[in-house]
Amino acid sequence: MATFENPQAAAALVARLSRYDDLSSQEIEVIENLTAVTRQFAKGEDIVVEGMSPLFSTLLLDGFAIRYNLVEDGRRQITAIHVNGDFVDLHCFLLKPMDHSVAALTPCRAALVPHVELRAISERHPHLTRLLWLSTLIDAAMHREWMVGMGRRSILAQLGHLICELYTRLKVVGRVNGLRFDFPVTQSEVSDALGLSLVQTNRTFRALREQHLVTMQGGVVTILDWDRLVEASEFNPLYLHLDKEPR
């Protein structure tokens, strides 16, 4: 086994973790020496399915991945959308059997990091471990924010909030272009994230468009008025914990 075939993978993880706190040169070296293979996933392809106990976790290098659950009548609830640099299923390192599935929402490239390596980090590098732990805590914070949207916000605010969140997260990893970002997904997929019907999602997009807040066409989201969108969505990025702190 070679170390990270793709130096970009190590760089992505270093970038991700040093967003939360400074890494020592030794810690960076540990990450660069991680063993991992890079894999491509087709749009819609499952990366991990519910019930499996994978021996690796997936670091997303390109594209969007989702976590989702199916209910008995076949409907789907998407519980997380992951972007470039996210450790999509880091949690399964400890959780063992997956209680949900992970799939490529768009074509994805990802590094598969073996759990034995993560375990070794957890044995020897407490600070790195805390930063990995932290990244799963931020995932949970996003879960909570989505719940607030589903339960107690208007549909417009819920969708607007999602767009604010994605924009903010993508901006941090340099994947926005002004107030635009690529998001090549269908409205039906957005519906499964919001817990709404397709028709209602379509109408909410129309409302965002008519209020000159956001447009989404051709797989590109364009924010027309960031301040008013934030206002209308009650978006407060605190829950993304973007500030660097000693951890």
We find the least distance from the C-beta atom of residue 228 to DNA, in angstroms, to be 20
What does R_g of the chain's alpha carbons equal in angstroms? 18
Q: Which is nearer to DNA, 135 or 191 (CB)?
A: 191
Site for DNA in 54-113 (CB under 7 A): none
Stretch that binds a copy of itself, among 38-46, 72-80, 174-182, 201-209 (CB under 8 A): 72-80
Stretch that binds DNA, among 1-9, 12-20, 133-141, 203-211 (CB under 7 A): 203-211
Q: Is 134 in the site for a copy of itself (CB under 8 A)?
A: yes
Binder of a copy of itself out of 122, 168, 187, 222 (CB under 8 A): 122
Stretch that binds a copy of itself, among 34-42, 63-71, 106-114, 209-217 (CB under 8 A): 63-71
Binder of a copy of itself out of 28, 150, 173, 207 (CB under 8 A): 150
Stretch that binds a copy of itself, among 11-19, 123-131, 169-177, 180-188 (CB under 8 A): 123-131
The 3-class SS string of the chain reads CCECCCHHHHHHHHHHHHCCCCCCHHHHHHHHCCECEEEEECCCCEEECCCCCCCEEEEEEECCEEEEEECCCCCEEEEEEECCCCECCCCHHHHCCCCCEEEECCCEEEEEEEHHHHHHHHHHCHHHHHHHHHHHHHHHHHHHHHHHHHHHCCHHHHHHHHHHHHHHHHHHCCCCECCEEECCCCHHHHHHHHCCCHHHHHHHHHHHHHCCCEEEECCEEEECCHHHHHHHHCCCHHHHCCCCCCC
Q: Which residues bind DNA (CB under 7 A)?
A: 154-155, 186-188, 195-200, 202-203, 205-206, 217-218
Q: Which residues bind a copy of itself (CB under 8 A)?
A: 51, 67, 69, 71-72, 75-77, 79-80, 91, 94-97, 99-100, 122-124, 126, 129-130, 133-134, 136-141, 143-148, 150-153, 192, 194-196, 234, 238-239, 241, 243, 245, 247
